[in-house]
Chain A
Amino acid sequence: MNVEKWTRYHADLKHPYWWGIMGLIVIESTVIAIFLASYFYLWIVNSSTSRMAWPGGEIPSIFYPSVNIGLLLFCGWSMWYGGVLIHKNKTKAFGWLAVACCVVACGVLWLRWLQMLNLPFSYDQNAYASFVWVLSSFHFMHVLAGILGTAVIGWFSFKGYYTEQRNLGVQIDTIYWYYIVASWIPVYFVIYITPRFQW
């Protein structure tokens, strides 16, 4: 087989980096799954031993978290559409979508900051409070990391580095945004919605 003329650019499953980011996503998903399993474990233990009526205090309002889901979905969409544009070689347009994603994601961070300042409990009050604080803070960090990474990607796009052919970095950043959005949904459901059902 003569591979001399084969392209070395692969913005898809042929490139190891695609599998690498999937590996990272599998690992982080397992971490989240275990966090959520621990949450339910504590709920069950507390109920069966009558230690503390879970969640042990006030349940926070779902207004800001729900708005944030909408904003996060926009971020995911803007990166997806940006990927479509990159494949049509519209690199500047992609750059502006990356900027839009970053700006909206900053909005997500700002709303989350407001939300956490106004939570009806501090993180050391009880285990439920610890979960809400810790899971929200970790997601905050991941959104922040997404903003920083996307800013760099957007900058390179304006400089003309990403083209129709050469855009693996865009694909990986986009996949990771999908993950930032998708991973928040089960967490949101578990910590904000399920305590409202008292089994």
Chain B
Amino acid sequence: MKFGSTLLLILTLLFSSCVGEQNFFAGKGPQSHEIIKLWWTLFGIASFVTVTVSFFLVRGALKKNRDDSVNDEALGKGLVYGLIGTISLLLVIIFSTLRLGHPPEYSEGNFELKVVGKMWWWQAHYYDPEGNYLFETANEIVIPTGRPIRIKLVSDTVIHSFWVPALAGKVDMLPGRENFLVVKADEEGVFRGQCAEFCGTQHALMSFYVKAVSEDQFSKWKEKQGKKYKRIKSHALGERVFINSGCVKCHTIRGLGVATDAKYYGPDLTHFGSRSHIAAATYPNNKGHLGGWILDPQGAKPGNYMPATPLSGKELNALLEFLEALK
């Protein structure tokens, strides 16, 4: 009974580590595949060493026969074998690591995406392969499948770290430095990422999504995101609330207004309605959550830079309609 329940517990634990949105065993890109393979080599060696050491420790402590046949000379030989074994295993580890290098199809060339680490969200700038600037968006990144895409990672705030475990390892974003990450998504899908360098009060909820789509859909998406907002009469109240309540001070909607606050600059909302989540992947993007967020951002993410915006029911509804329509 004890053995059975222990086994079940172990299997549950082992199995549970293979699920979850940010699991790095998902292996959706070449780098993450290589790392998973490396893991199993490391795990094999580590298990072997642990079992061996534990065996000798427990046996050495508990054995009954304490004759003098194991003298210092024999122990000396054992030490030499142990050293040879240890060095061999270390060499195996080092070679498997170095062999990994960069996965195939690692490309040089222009970066098509620049991500800037902000306090506590992700600003994304897209470029075409020739290097011309296209547009700005935030917190949700779209990439094409089947080919590598080069991402430039910078910060104009503190140090952050860009990490999408399903695709690749993390790369830090440091002020004054330019780091690059090349990722390739093998298949379409949505992959979650999270900031992996402590960056202050709301580090815990600074996440993002990467959507991998076909090359064709990627071009269409870029074209749509590049378009400015055209004012519509039915959204007049919503637009007015957006400007008069101060939202426009920090949030740009290209075609409506440009943000002016340099320090507390927030995500570009021009195509906000096309995003699946809000507040750096904290809540799903629907009217209920968005309304709650606008009225009380400090309750959801204490310490973030967005102040509460008190609005009447009518104003809030109009604003929500307007924002969700920004596809």
Interface residues of A (CB under 8 A from B): 49, 51
Contacts of B176 in A (CB 8 A): 49, 51
Taking CB atoms and an 8 Å cut-off, the chain B residues in 164-201 that contact chain A are 176-177
Interface residues of B (CB under 8 A from A): 176-177
Q: How far is the CA of A49 from the CA of B176 in the complex (A)?
A: 9
Contacts of B177 in A (CB 8 A): 49
Distance to closest chain A CB from B172 (angstroms)? 15
Q: How far is the CA of A97 from the CA of B176 in the complex (A)?
A: 53
The 3 closest A-B pairs by CB, nearest first: A51-B176, A49-B177, A49-B176
Q: How far is the CA of A49 from the CA of B177 in the complex (A)?
A: 8
Q: How far is the CA of A51 from the CA of B177 in the complex (A)?
A: 9
Q: How far is the CA of A49 from the CA of B154 in the complex (A)?
A: 14
Q: How far is the CA of A102 from the CA of B176 in the complex (A)?
A: 46
Q: How far is the CA of A51 from the CA of B175 in the complex (A)?
A: 12
Q: Which residue of B lies closest to A52 (CB)?
A: B176
- Interface residue SS majority, chain A: loop
Distance to closest chain A CB from B153 (angstroms)? 15
Contacts of A51 in B (CB 8 A): 176
Q: How far is the CA of A51 from the CA of B176 in the complex (A)?
A: 8
Contacts of A49 in B (CB 8 A): 176-177
Distance to closest chain B CB from A54 (angstroms)? 14
Q: How far is the CA of A50 from the CA of B176 in the complex (A)?
A: 11
Distance to closest chain B CB from A38 (angstroms)? 16
Distance to closest chain B CB from A106 (angstroms)? 42
Distance to closest chain A CB from B14 (angstroms)? 44
Q: Which residue of B lies closest to A51 (CB)?
A: B176
Q: How far is the CA of A199 from the CA of B231 in the complex (A)?
A: 58
Distance to closest chain B CB from A46 (angstroms)? 10
Distance to closest chain A CB from B6 (angstroms)? 51
Distance to closest chain A CB from B180 (angstroms)? 13
Q: Which residue of A lies closest to B177 (CB)?
A: A49
Q: Which residue of A lies closest to B176 (CB)?
A: A51
Q: How far is the CA of A91 from the CA of B176 in the complex (A)?
A: 60
Distance to closest chain A CB from B156 (angstroms)? 14
Q: How far is the CA of A49 from the CA of B174 in the complex (A)?
A: 13
Distance to closest chain B CB from A50 (angstroms)? 11
Distance to closest chain B CB from A126 (angstroms)? 13
Jot down 3 A-B pairs with beta carbons below 8 A, ordered by A.
A49-B176, A49-B177, A51-B176
Distance to closest chain A CB from B152 (angstroms)? 14
Distance to closest chain B CB from A48 (angstroms)? 11
Q: How far is the CA of A21 from the CA of B221 in the complex (A)?
A: 70
Distance to closest chain B CB from A53 (angstroms)? 15
Distance to closest chain B CB from A47 (angstroms)? 14
Distance to closest chain B CB from A141 (angstroms)? 31
Q: How far is the CA of A164 from the CA of B1 in the complex (A)?
A: 85
Distance to closest chain A CB from B273 (angstroms)? 39
Distance to closest chain A CB from B76 (angstroms)? 37
Q: Which residue of B lies closest to A46 (CB)?
A: B176
Q: How far is the CA of A40 from the CA of B191 in the complex (A)?
A: 42
Distance to closest chain B CB from A144 (angstroms)? 36
Distance to closest chain A CB from B84 (angstroms)? 37
Distance to closest chain B CB from A45 (angstroms)? 9
Q: How far is the CA of A101 from the CA of B198 in the complex (A)?
A: 52
Distance to closest chain A CB from B8 (angstroms)? 54
Distance to closest chain A CB from B250 (angstroms)? 29
Distance to closest chain B CB from A78 (angstroms)? 48
Distance to closest chain B CB from A41 (angstroms)? 14
Distance to closest chain A CB from B251 (angstroms)? 31
Q: How far is the CA of A45 from the CA of B176 in the complex (A)?
A: 11
Q: How far is the CA of A166 from the CA of B20 in the complex (A)?
A: 75
Q: How far is the CA of A20 from the CA of B176 in the complex (A)?
A: 43
Distance to closest chain A CB from B236 (angstroms)? 48
Q: How far is the CA of A101 from the CA of B177 in the complex (A)?
A: 49
Q: How far is the CA of A27 from the CA of B176 in the complex (A)?
A: 32
Q: How far is the CA of A51 from the CA of B174 in the complex (A)?
A: 14
Distance to closest chain A CB from B326 (angstroms)? 38
Q: How far is the CA of A130 from the CA of B85 in the complex (A)?
A: 51
Distance to closest chain B CB from A146 (angstroms)? 39
Q: How far is the CA of A31 from the CA of B176 in the complex (A)?
A: 26
Distance to closest chain B CB from A40 (angstroms)? 18
Q: How far is the CA of A49 from the CA of B179 in the complex (A)?
A: 12
Distance to closest chain B CB from A52 (angstroms)? 10
Distance to closest chain A CB from B136 (angstroms)? 25
Q: Which residue of B lies closest to A49 (CB)?
A: B177
Distance to closest chain A CB from B179 (angstroms)? 11
